[in-house]
Structure 1
């Protein structure tokens, strides 16, 4: 019962309690400072009444009455001071709370003027800064792209999303006429006509789908809306154009659907792999047993050898499926990337069996270590190197290169600008580049090269680079590829261990 009363008085009615408590404390301090002394003197006079002269006693009692009135006056003054202090504290706090409630309801336009106390004034300024930042964020990034055109046809404001859609900079747009800007941008005629109609005929448009070509050549589908701006007297003052990137929205939806499909495929693949691997081992064992019972010169042995070879190939496909569907990692350790690359290069030369390929290594001598499962990183490097050997072999089949043209380059370096964190100079990253002069990646699959089951090889599973990207992501790294100086270059970046945490402790752990 006592706890509930305390919560009611001091939690649910905090503002009312402060208006009572602060004046009461001020009055109590002013009253108690003189009342205790007066009580002691009054008791002394009462006990020694016979020892004092009557005139002296009368004067003493008269002085005590005046002093009691002064104590009462100071008590009232302390009460008034307490009320003033309570008001000075609670009034700006109430205004801040009211502003916070408005912001919670989505109104970021109301500012605060809190000037009573320096501390509360600073709090009010910080609150205004937060609200204005939220307002700018919502206006700039959550409402799509927008362009404001005044009555003379000049662009007076444009937000970052519109700049990104149009592929231009602020100085290219603000202060220029809208038709001048769009004349220099290769938009489709329909896009230009809609904006011109809105400005010249003062015709509003709502969610009109059209297309445009940005300055960098990107073809984009957009939804365009145009609102006519008028002042209080109904006079035309400009046009507000809203642009939404439908292409980007479709890309996001497609990516989400693709992620769901891959998750389902991964689950299915794991189940199939287990079901296939068990009888596959039995078939291989029986085939080897049959092969042992055949004479050495029997022609049938060629068939059994082919069976074992194909069973092993199928087992490799099953292993790849399991690795992709159920990625596992041992405890991370500090690893030297240069040494891991050397191991992968040795395995790649043995596995690929290719010859007469020039190998160029350019390792950074003082490369910092990375937190990694070394076995997994070797697998990632090996997948890329085997692809490089196969690409060179395919190029030789289609058009034999001249002497010295078949080359694989492996390079490592440290980049202090990678993996930056807010407020720090960045922990830096280890960069690995693996380049080859082999056959270029088919442009039809270039954008999907890291997706599972995407390949242009007749005997390929399309899982090698997908598993590589998965391994790199497990180590909080990135992977990309491109074409440079006649080489197909795969670039892998990993956080350096000088400031990084082990993978088990890092936020996120595995990331797809």
Structure 2
């Protein structure tokens, strides 16, 4: 509605601006034409009176004397003068239709002649009023033109004094009825008004077309600007004239903005840190690709949304943004444990600052995100390696201290068993003693393997071959039948420097765990990849996820969630791989649990 009213006001304003000057010009033109016509009439009447003055070759007294009537009555004198001068006034009146001409005698104080005589003869012999302008003309001896009621009626009357021998003998006049002049003025006005009307209509039509054209151009520019606000690659079409200069300037500005935004986006997307920009009300307005990768939100859905709607499950980040936006408090190096929808738990370092423009006006907040997950994992692995080394030293001492007594116990038990008859009831107990001693020996062997995994030889090993041998060993394991094992690798996977037997032990331990965790008729996926000069062996099973707090703890010695087992299998595997400069980590995936064994193509230490 406002736009409609604006258009009406705009159209009316344009019409007024174009038509009003025409109307004012027309009014001025009518007034000027009227004045010009009246002035032309005056000049014409004055010229006729001058003609009358020039045509009177003799004065009135001479004409009377020549007629022998110098002593006659006034009527006879007037009659003689009229007979003498009537042909002259009739001839002049005939030459100028509508004009009344005549002479007035000061001596006789009467109208001598008045042409055309067929219309004006009744006025002959009349005297003019004392207030008649003719008397002023005779007194002042000045030509004058007067409009008003006089002898003939409402007329324009031009009067010239008749001066002979320096004596005013009367005056001559030429007049025209104002009704006739008004008719001429009315005709002139009608013509001018018609021209003005046509001009106004043309001006209004032209203004309407101009306004329509202007509205079309403005509408196109407006829609173009609206589209440019969403897509800086859009360009307005080229136009002629000044609109073309405007659209050209807009296109140039859009190109500059696009180039500037492209540079900014390139810089932002080249950063390893994630960047979020929020306006003062807390709505997300900008971010880089790194932030999307770190947080895992959908960019098309998040734009313009309030941060409380985007990060509903991230209480720590909500507190940081709240402190920054509402309290103006910048946050430095806060740690945020973020549950990524696809990548699991990530540790992000969060810093926030107040976003201000050049005039120090607060525009919102800027948030920087740094992925510290690998650093956190490396820190955890380093601490774990230190713990494993200490435990390894302790395990070596325990294994040596336990192994010698176990050997003696086993030997004495076997001697006692040999001395008893085969049907002796106690032989059952000596058998139990020997079995338990052998179990303890196996345990001490695991402790020694955990403490000294680097005693094996170090040779180039193709990991895919070790995996294949390990799978053959697993064929006889309980529950392996019916398992769908998929091994995926490229033939160009480089060899690693390690012990085949120890690596086989690593994969046996992981596969045993996968076998125990998988459901019946489950699937185990093994992928071997070359990533950043490291061989990655990813073993994924379809079992239930591991609790997030246990993803690192499962590699600790003696940690287990099973009813049976020593809890040394994964710890020994981690210890072996660490000796070769690698590491093992576990993560939950949509398919299940994935154990990744990372082995450097060139040994980083240990062997």
What TM-score, normalized by structure 2, do the two folds share? Answer: 0.43
Q: Larger radius of gyration, structure 1 or 2?
A: 2
Q: Write 1 or 2 for the structure with the bigger share of strand.
A: 2
What TM-score, normalized by structure 1, do the two folds share? Answer: 0.49
